[in-house]
A = this chain, B = another copy of it.
């Protein structure tokens, strides 16, 4: 016996979500039908979110209006822009409370293997924003693609006369040296700070 086509369609839609495999999709699918209020709640929240949320036309952050709360806030320091890959990264940084500048979402990283070049990331939008900006912080993940993107951006931005920095590399808090990968230890030694 096969499952009803509508149910199969639901499972297939769930399987498209990141981190959701066949098994999890089945579990969630049955759960949604057996707990209708959860299903209704998700259906409405998703519909409303899709209909009303978009990307800030300045920085690319998720927003309900044209411009996000960070870009439109008078209390944010407009002379610093922190460049990130996704809106998720903005939330991660905002949670720390340590940064009060603006953001810029690239949307992707340069990755020749995936066929993604500089034209596939939102660099033009960034270049349009650099007037009056004193520093651009590249908060891009330390990976092959991330480093390629950072290097590329740094080169362009420095030519435009903007000061560019990137996040420090070293030991994460709570890490065990013996379990830390060699590259991280190399970074930690190179970037050691005098006490």
Chain A contact residues: helix, strand, loop or mixed: helix
Contacts of A30 in B (CB 8 A): 62, 86-88
In the bound complex, what is the Cα–Cα distance between A15 and B4 (angstroms)? Answer: 26
Q: CB within 8 Å of B: which of A57-79?
A: 62-64, 69-70, 73
In the bound complex, what is the Cα–Cα distance between A39 and B62 (angstroms)? Answer: 15
Which size bracket describes the interface of A in this complex?
35 or more
Q: Are A45 and B1 in contact (CB under 8 A)?
A: no
A120 within 8 A of B: no
Q: Known interface pairs A27-B19, A94-B1. Does A32 touch B49 (Cβ–Cβ under 8 Å)?
A: yes
Q: Are B17 and A32 in contact (CB under 8 A)?
A: yes
11 contacts across the A-B interface (CB closer than 8 A): A1-B73, A1-B94, A3-B62, A6-B45, A10-B48, A13-B42, A13-B44, A18-B28, A30-B62, A33-B87, A47-B47
A interface residues, Cβ below 8 angstroms from B: 1-7, 9-10, 12-14, 16-20, 24, 26-36, 38-50, 52-53, 62-64, 69-70, 73, 86-88, 91, 94, 107
